[in-house]
């Protein structure tokens, strides 16, 4: 089958059918309804869309929205009965006992130390990355490799001569 020419009656019927599927209501103008009744391409699509929408409207009336089955009610009741004592015991434990307050302090301290360690790790990685990038830019501009720059920087801290090592002792 050839595609519909834009602006043709078949194209406009197809657009209306797409709109009907999106909104749930089918209302073709009289001229397009007359075209759809006589067109071998649009007719079946029009009738199928009309049938689909009527089935969907009928299906909503057939859905039973009655009360929740008793099995579901029993399960929900059991869950709330089992959970309630645990919740109340946690609230009572955190309310006033010195042991609970000490545990809360420990947890809070561990959390803070963990956050500080994470920030320190991120900063260390960032500084290392920035330093490496600076050394690579320096290598690109001056032609001196990062290893040579670091060796020149670290040379005052090295003891390469055994005589200097002996004097330092």
Phi, psi (deg, nearest 5) at residue 95: -70, -50
| Residue 1 pLDDT level (bands cut at 50, 70, 90) | very low
10-69 per-position pLDDT tens digit? 888 888 888 887 787 788 888 888 888 888 888 888 888 888 888 777 765 555 555 556
The domain ranges of the chain are 9-62, 101-169
Q: Which of 82, 83, 104 is nearest to 93 (CA)?
A: 104
For residues 92 and 85, the answer to whether their CB atoms sit within 8 Å is no
Whole-number Å distance between alpha carbons of 71 and 88: 26
Residue among 72, 21, 16 nearest 42 (CA): 16
**What is the value of pTM for the model shown?**
0.35
Question: Tokens 């645990």 identify what position?
Answer: 86
Per-residue pLDDT averaged across 65-90, rounded?
61
């Amino acid at each position: 089958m050839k595609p519909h020419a834009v602006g043709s009656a078949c194209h406009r019927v197809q657009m209306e059918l797409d709109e009907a599927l999106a909104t749930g209501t089918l209302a073709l103008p009289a001229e397009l309804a007359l075209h759809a009744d006589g067109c071998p391409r649009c007719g079946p699509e029009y009738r199928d869309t009309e049938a689909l929408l009527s089935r969907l409207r009928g299906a909503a009336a057939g859905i039973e929205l009655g009360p929740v089955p008793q099995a579901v009610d029993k399960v929900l009741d059991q869950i709330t009965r089992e959970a309630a004592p645990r919740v109340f015991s946690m609230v009572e434990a955190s309310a006033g006992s010195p042991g609970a307050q000490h545990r809360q302090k420990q947890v809070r301290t561990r959390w803070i130390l963990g956050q500080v360690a994470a920030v320190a790790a991120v900063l260390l990685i960032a500084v290392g990355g920035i330093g490496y990038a600076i050394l690579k830019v320096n290598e690109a501009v001056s032609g001196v490799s990062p290893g040579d720059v670091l060796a020149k920087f670290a040379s005052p801290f090295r003891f390469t001569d055994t005589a200097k090592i002996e004097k330092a002792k």
